[in-house]
Homo-oligomer: A and B are copies of this chain.
């Protein structure tokens, strides 16, 4: 069976990202430096990691509003007082988590320049998107479900991120059309229809896990579906 996986596949991608984990956290630390009362970087990074992970876990079960800072304190094993010297407020915690994901996405979701054929560029975008949302599944789910509670600024950025991906897809489709690789009537609507196929992966993660469909299974199937829909073999 032929795939469109390129040379690497998911495991390699994952390894590459996890090497940079600390850099991402450090950038978040710097951004919110002013309100974090603890000074030792190493301590902060370790704690932020725990706090973020636990918040995502609890929130994705019960919702962010329904998750009390007390719950968080118990689940992390960090006392209320300590916790507040890292997060300042529950609102700030929300915004810290939001920046965390954005930092990771901004640094990793790039189409490499050596890919020039639109068809390959689109494939790469779709596959990488699935990969990155696999690694950051809790964050993407959280960001999707809680974006209503973001402050206007953060919300703005979340929506902007959404639309950027969609526009990128739309552009790649149009390039492909003008080169005769795709047959599509309405590239904007088509791009809008492809987007939820990317989101599906992190929104219904549990369903695919239960059905034993792996990241690469999904990426392969989804890409085949899309390419068939846009008439690109």
Residues of A within 8 A of B (CB): 61-63, 65-66, 145, 148-149, 185-186, 188-190, 192-193, 195-197, 199-200, 203-204, 207-208, 211, 213, 217-218, 221-222, 224-226, 228-231
Contact = CB atoms under 8 A, between A and B. Distances in A.
A145 B204 CA distance: 13
Contacts of A149: 62-63, 66
B189 A213 contact: yes
Contacts of A148: 61-63, 145
A129 to B, nearest CB: 14
28 contacts: A61-B148, A62-B148, A63-B63, A63-B65, A65-B65, A65-B66, A145-B145, A185-B224, A189-B213, A189-B217, A189-B221, A192-B204, A192-B207, A193-B197, A193-B221, A193-B225, A195-B200, A196-B196, A196-B197, A196-B199, A196-B200, A196-B203, A197-B197, A225-B229, A226-B229, A228-B229, A228-B230, A229-B229
Copies in the complex: 2
Contacts of A193: 197, 200, 221-222, 225
Contacts of A61: 148
Contacts of A207: 192
Given A185-B224, A190-B221, 12 more contacts: A61-B148, A145-B145, A186-B221, A192-B200, A192-B207, A192-B208, A193-B222, A195-B200, A196-B200, A196-B203, A196-B204, A228-B229
